[in-house]
């Protein structure tokens, strides 16, 4: 009887050891039903996404793919320079504040359109010693197609005579103001606007000469 009780006791102890071992294995493996290598009850780290590359900033481009003169000297042939006689190109005084030098147009809306553009060349033929009754100003302006449309509309609205010439649109007007001959010549081609205003001067073929030089390679 004593021996049987001992075996029962040993059997119970053995069962407890087996249960303890099973519990230990479950805890060590991270819990029943959990995928191998993952802990239960704790968020798992995810791989960090690679940083997004910043969009490439396009390199600055020229205002136009067409002609792009960088100085007024490139606009004129020696013959036109000689035709201005005593007038010189861009004398120092025209850059002074309040010089009151003429713009490429006398119309406020056209001047506003010139100022609304970006890059431009301003070429002034004037007396070297200061303002006089003679002078001519051409502003070569690079424009967008939308700006070109607005310019053409305004040139027509102020009564200029516009017609197709030399691959572009030419507009002219000439009047007398206080006994002085005042005129304007405008030419639009590709992305370029030639806006010219003159007072008592202007060699024949002036605008044609600029066109021949600016578009010499076309």
For residue 99, is it within any domain?
yes
Q: pLDDT band for 98, please (50, 70, 90 cuts).
A: confident
Termini Cα distance of the chain: 124
Distance between CA atoms of residues 65 and 56, nearest Å: 22
Q: What is the CATH number of the domain that holds 138?
A: 3.40.1000
For residue 159, is it within any domain?
yes
At 50 the pLDDT is 36
The per-residue pLDDT for range 46-88, each reduced to its tens digit, is 333 333 332 333 333 344 577 899 999 999 999 999 999 999 9
For residue 131, is it within any domain?
yes
Token pair for 194: 């030639």
For residue 38, is it within any domain?
no
At 45 the pLDDT is 35
Q: Which domain holds residue 151?
A: 72-214
Per the listing, tokens 């056209």 go with 110
Q: Is the pLDDT of residue 138 over 50?
A: yes
- Residue 135: CB partners within 8 Å, gap ≥ 6? 87, 101, 102, 124, 125, 126, 127, 198, 199, 200, 201
The 3-state secondary structure of 64-119 reads CCCCCCCCHHHHCCHHHHHHCCCCEECCHHHHCCCCCCCCCCCCHHHHHHHHHCCC
For residue 136, is it within any domain?
yes
For residue 21, is it within any domain?
no
Query: Looking at the 3D structure of the chain, how many domains does it have?
Result: 1
Q: pLDDT band for 194, please (50, 70, 90 cuts).
A: very high
Dihedral angle, C-alpha 145, 146, 152, 156, nearest 10 °: 160
Q: Strand ranges (DSSP E) for the chain?
A: 88-89, 120-126, 135-142, 161-165, 168-177, 180-189, 192-199
Average pLDDT of the chain to the nearest whole number = 77
For residue 162, is it within any domain?
yes
Which has the closest alpha carbon to 104: 143, 51, 63, 49?
A: 143
For residue 208, is it within any domain?
yes
Q: Is the pLDDT of residue 151 over 50?
A: yes
Mean pLDDT on 15-42 = 40
Mean pLDDT on 9-13 = 45
Q: pLDDT band for 142, please (50, 70, 90 cuts).
A: very high
């Amino acid at each position: 009887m004593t021996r049987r009780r001992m075996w029962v006791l040993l059997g119970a102890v053995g069962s407890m050891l087996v249960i303890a071992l099973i519990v230990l294995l479950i805890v060590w493996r991270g819990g029943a039903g959990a995928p191998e290598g993952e802990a239960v009850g704790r968020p798992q780290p995810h791989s960090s996404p690679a940083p997004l590359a910043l969009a490439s900033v396009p390199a600055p481009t020229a205002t136009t793919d067409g002609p792009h003169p960088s100085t007024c000297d490139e606009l004129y042939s020696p013959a036109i320079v000689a035709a201005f006689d005593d007038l010189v190109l861009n004398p120092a005084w025209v850059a002074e504040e309040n010089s009151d030098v003429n713009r490429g147009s006398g119309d406020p809306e056209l001047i506003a359109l010139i100022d609304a553009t970006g890059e431009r060349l301003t070429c002034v033929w004037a007396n070297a010693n200061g303002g006089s009754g003679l002078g001519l100003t051409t502003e070569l302006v690079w424009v967008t197609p939308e700006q070109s449309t607005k310019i053409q509309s305004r040139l027509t609205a102020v009564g200029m005579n516009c017609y197709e010439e030399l691959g572009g649109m030419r507009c002219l007007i000439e009047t007398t103001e206080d006994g002085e001959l005042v005129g304007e010549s405008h030419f639009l081609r590709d992305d370029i606007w030639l806006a010219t205003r003159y007072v008592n001067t202007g060699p024949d073929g002036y605008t044609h000469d600029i066109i021949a030089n600016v578009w010499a390679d076309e």
